[in-house]
Structures are given as structure tokens and as C-alpha cells.
């Protein structure tokens, strides 16, 4: 599902509710899940964003009440990247999402592309699993091992699995 946001080339729109933000929405009808990916960029490659996954909790079974989207998972990030580092970040995230391994909603622990190096240091704050509550930092270095940007990130489930 994460591959359907910015990384997967989803349709990007301007947010009508948050000035200066971009948004990608992806609806998985079969699973009853909605992904909303929002971000903003400032000068000098600075950016901040979040990805939230919602679950369809229809009220009533007669269809008269419509859909009720309940947020169930979120991940936020902030930092900066040089423009030249963005393709490495995007490809690292794509590789992680397509592998169906979870690395905090970001890329794999290490990823190399054309001499550029992506690293992801992630920590879990849950005894259950990494998906429940996590934080970390990713960065990209160029061929000369010069740091070209980073993002700090954090995320969590928005419910107690015992209540699900």
C-alpha cells in the first residue's frame, strides 16, 4: 500500500485544506483501506510530511450511513535532501515497499545506487513488532561519502492490537 503514494507515482494534487502541501490519495476498495500521503517542501531541500492509513469502518450494513474512515497507522518525517539525492531516496523506498519488508515506512537498512549510499537506522519502541511504534533516521551520501541529506521519522499504530 505504501508503494501507492509518492514513491509509486500516484496522482499528486495540491491540498485544498493545507496551503503549500501536496497530497496523494490511494484507495484499496478490496481491503477497505485508504492511504493519504501529504508533504510540503521549503527552500534548500527542506521537507516535512506524513503518511496515514485509514480503515473503512462502515456504520450499519444497509449502506445508508456511508463510509467512516478511521486512522489506524501513521508515519511522519522531516529533514532535507539535495535535489541530486532524491532519486536514490525514492528508489530505496520503492525497493523496501516492493519487498514487503517493513523498515519504518522508509527504505531498507542499506541501499546503493550508482555510487550513492542510502542508510536507514530504525529503532522499535514496542515489544510486539516494529510496525507498532518506531523512530529512526535515514540519510544519503554521494560517491565521495559527503552527506547529501537526511530525514528523521517516527510512526505508530493508532490503536491497541488487543482492542482490534
pLDDT exceeds cutoff 90 at 109: yes
Higher pLDDT, 18 or 133: 133
pLDDT exceeds cutoff 70 at 40: yes
pLDDT exceeds cutoff 90 at 130: no
User: pLDDT at position 33, please?
Assistant: 92
* Tens of pLDDT, residues 89-107: 999 999 998 998 888 889 9
Per the prediction, the chain carries an average pLDDT of 86
User: pLDDT at position 62, please?
Assistant: 52
Of 104, 112, 158, 154, the closest CA to residue 131 belongs to 104
What are residue 119's DSSP bridge partners? 110, 139
Higher pLDDT, 141 or 30: 141
pLDDT exceeds cutoff 90 at 12: no
User: pLDDT at position 94, please?
Assistant: 92
User: pLDDT at position 103, please?
Assistant: 87
Q: Are 141 and 84 contacting, i.e. CB atoms less than 8 angstroms apart?
A: no
Q: What is the mean pLDDT of residues 56-74?
A: 75
User: pLDDT at position 128, please?
Assistant: 66
User: pLDDT at position 153, please?
Assistant: 96
| HEC-encoded secondary structure of the chain | CHHHCCCCCCCCEECCCCCCCEEEEEEECCCCEEEEEEEEECHHHEEEEEEEEEEECCCCCCCCCCCCEEEEEEEEEEEEECHHHHHHHHHHHHHHHHHCCCCCCCCCCEEEECCEEEEEEEEECCCCCCCCEEEEEEEEECCCCCEEEEEEEEEEECCCHHHC
- 57: its cell numbers: 469502518
Higher pLDDT, 127 or 131: 131
Q: What is the mean pLDDT of residues 60-77?
A: 79
Amino acid at each position: 500500500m505504501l508503494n501507492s503514494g509518492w514513491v509509486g507515482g500516484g496522482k499528486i494534487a495540491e491540498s485544498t485544506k493545507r496551503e503549500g502541501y501536496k497530497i496523494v490519495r490511494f484507495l484499496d476498495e478490496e481491503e477497505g483501506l485508504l492511504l493519504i500521503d501529504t508533504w510540503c517542501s521549503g527552500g534548500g531541500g527542506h521537507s516535512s510530511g506524513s503518511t496515514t492509513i485509514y480503515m473503512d469502518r462502515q456504520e450499519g450494513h444497509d449502506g445508508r450511513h456511508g463510509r467512516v474512515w478511521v486512522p489506524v497507522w501513521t508515519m511522519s518525517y522531516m529533514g532535507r535532501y539535495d535535489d541530486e539525492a532524491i532519486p536514490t531516496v525514492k528508489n530505496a523506498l520503492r525497493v523496501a515497499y516492493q519487498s514487503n519488508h517493513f523498515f519504518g515506512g522508509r527504505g531498507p537498512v542499506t541501499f546503493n545506487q550508482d555510487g550513492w549510499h542510502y542508510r536507514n537506522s530504525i529503532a522499535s519502541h514496542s515489544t510486539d513488532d516494529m510496525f507498532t511504534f518506531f523512530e529512526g533516521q535515514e540519510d544519503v551520501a554521494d560517491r565521495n561519502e559527503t552527506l547529501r541529506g537526511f530525514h528523521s521519522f517516527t510512526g505508530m499504530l493508532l490503536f491497541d492490537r488487543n482492542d482490534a
